[in-house]
A and B are shown apart, each in its own frame.
Chain A
Amino acid sequence: MTSVRSSILVIEDDADIRRFLKVGLGNKGYRCLEAFQGRQGLTEVATRNPDLIILDLGLPDMDGLELLKDLRRWSQIPVIVLTARGKEKDKIKALDLGADDYLTKPFGIGELLARIRAALRHAAQRASGRDESVFENGALKVDFIRRQVFVRGSEVRLTPMEYKLLVHLARHVGKVLTQQQILKDVWGAAYLEKNLYLRVHMHQLRHKLEEDPAQPRWLVTEPGVGYRLRAE
């Protein structure tokens, strides 16, 4: 953990959930700021500049998605969204609007802490402005300079498109990317409707990298939302 305590702003109208987050986050060394409404939340962001925001989408005074849209006009602070089960559309919208991750209520503190760590790591990487030259995630290794991929030390041959897809996932390790985001960033804006391309290439990539493609370690599917390269 960094020497300066990271501060996390929780925008959530339910007092009990705020309380449990305050305890859970506080024990792990985070400083927890609280807002129980959207507007108050935006003010807190502007005045106290937290390192990360946990945003409940169901706020009393404004739509959480609206808040996110507003926020993204002037801030790149990592945001983790809390939603109810079955609201896949909201999850996709939140991710497309620039949320870094989501968590479905009810959730355990362990899950939340893992998401927070991943989001803070990305933010730090973004801020440093330099990309790593090698990506290592357990037994998976990508050498960005030589454009080589290794699983358990042995090289795996990928097509240029598969490589591009893997690199994109690796640059966002731990984060869910929506199908639309991946298609736009890897294939280009003209391919937004080509879910089939994405499925086929993910299939090939999984078969080349995973020991058991039906029980993947790294390339996991979030049904109805998108894909995530699981951090190890």
Chain B
Amino acid sequence: MPWKRYVVPPLLILLWTTVAYLLFPTMEPINLVMIYLLVNVLIAVRYGQGPVIVSTLLSIAAFDYFFVPPNLKFTPEDEKYFISFVIMFFVIILTSRLAIKSRKSADKAVAAEMEAEKERLTSALLSSVSHDLRTPLATIAGAASTLVAQDADLTGEDRRNLQQMICQEAERLNEHVENLLQITRFESGGLRLEKDCGSVEEIVGSALGRLRPFLEGRKTSASIPDDLPLVPFDALLIEQALVNLLDNVVRYTPAGSPIDIRAFREEGTVVVEVLDRGPGVPPEDRQKIFEKFYRREEGAVPGTGLGLAICRSIVRAHGGVIGMRPREGGGSVFHFSLPLEEGGKAA
């Protein structure tokens, strides 16, 4: 509200004057002036040029009336005080102008930073779309056209190989599209949680069930205490987060290495951990892997660089925290927490 800009600053000055007059009657005038200066600079930063001129004049008048001898009179004993008042006025106004200016340029820098981030995202999105979607498409088109054009010349084994390639790549394509759609939904604020009391054990069971074909040959264990409380969460999204975490482990650890899942209660939250025996993640990457489009060893392992970013969005929307740390004896621990009480930080 615009009128507030001219009402609040004088009130602040009056407030400070009252406090100073009642509580610090013996304070040195120079200290009082410094505090007037400070209050006015804050006013300048918060309310801008016009209000600060008004409040500066008011400050000088109040200082004169209450603290310059003789007290409770506007005309000072010593005429040199008039020079002090003029200097005080210019010091406050100049300082305030500088403060306003530097605040404006800071705002501009933040806006520019956000703009740059947006552009980075868009270009990352485009390169992700063009590369990661085209690669499986190229394989599908190539394999399918071979099947169509050279059917008579293919051995049974060739044919089966090509067919399998098509199935596999189609699934990869589907996964990319799902990830892209989901992250776009999250970014545009379309993430609405459907919370219900949920069982971590059930979610672990269904996530492992969904990934069963990719867990072939791996030992999976889940240790979840019998008395783990139910957690208020969106079952579908938390399952998605867990599937993404597990999927990431499957991609980045050697085939056949074990995967363990643990859940336990800790200080008003339930913590879920996924533990692997893979090569681990270097310290400088441990935060970055949860960022959008961040991928270690670009191209070495197929993926969109979105899976873990989606995990993080989901966990944060529930008011929880996600992270990773090295595992004792080799490997990594991915962990996320979910608050037990309703009313964790909203999305």
Contact = CB atoms under 8 A, between A and B. Distances in A.
Contact of A223 (B220, B224, B226, B239): B239
B203 interface: yes
A222 B208 CA distance: 12
A223 B235 CA distance: 6
B197 A220 contact: no
B220 A88 contact: no
B205 A196 contact: no
A221 B174 contact: no
A106 B206 contact: no
A190 interface: no
A215 interface: yes
Contacts of A207: 226
Interface string B197-227: 1110111111011000000000010111010
B230 A221 contact: no
A223 B202 contact: yes
Contact of A214 (B194, B198, B222, B235): B222
A196 B197 contact: yes
Given A85-B178, A195-B197, A199-B199, A214 B170 contact: no
B259 to A, nearest CB: 11
B261 interface: yes
A220 B209 contact: yes
Contact of A224 (B194, B204, B205): B194
B197 A213 contact: no
Interface string B222-241: 11101000100011101100
A202 interface: yes
A203 interface: yes
B151 interface: no
Contacts of A196: 197, 230
B230 A199 contact: yes
A229 B251 CA distance: 30
Given A223-B239, A224-B236, A215 B194 contact: no
Interface of B: 167, 170, 174, 178, 194, 196-199, 201-206, 208-209, 220, 222-224, 226, 230, 234-236, 238-239, 261
Interface of A: 85, 88, 106, 108, 195-196, 199, 202-203, 206-207, 212-216, 220-224
Q: Which 3 A-B pairs have the closest CB atoms?
A: A214-B222, A224-B236, A221-B202
